[in-house]
Amino acid sequence: MSKILRIDNQGCCERRIYDSKKDLRDSLIDFHLTDCEEEDEKGLKKCSLNEICSYGDWSYKLISDEEAKKYEEVNNG
């Protein structure tokens, strides 16, 4: 099984682990909704994960469960 590592290419947010690309996409949509006008909100919700990543200068990487544990230990401890 693998996890998804969210990477902020601008270095403002910590890296974070997600269980799936869908979870990452939903999280990024929620993050960017605070910046959106009402008409933009509908468009954002229709975007693919890659489109949202481009919009906000994010990237992601598939990692193993072992790697995910290491990131979680660093961020939580």
Of 21, 14, 11, 20, nearest in space to 72 by CA? 14
What pTM was estimated for this model as a whole? Answer: 0.84
28-66 core/surface letters (b: 16 or more CB in 10 A; e: else): bbeebeeeeeeeeeeebeebebeebbeebebebeebeee
Cα separation values, 45 from 23, 41, 62, 70, Å: 13, 6, 23, 32
Per-residue pLDDT of the chain (77 residues; tens, 9 = 90+): 799 999 999 999 889 999 999 999 999 998 888 776 665 667 788 899 999 999 889 999 999 999 999 887 777 65
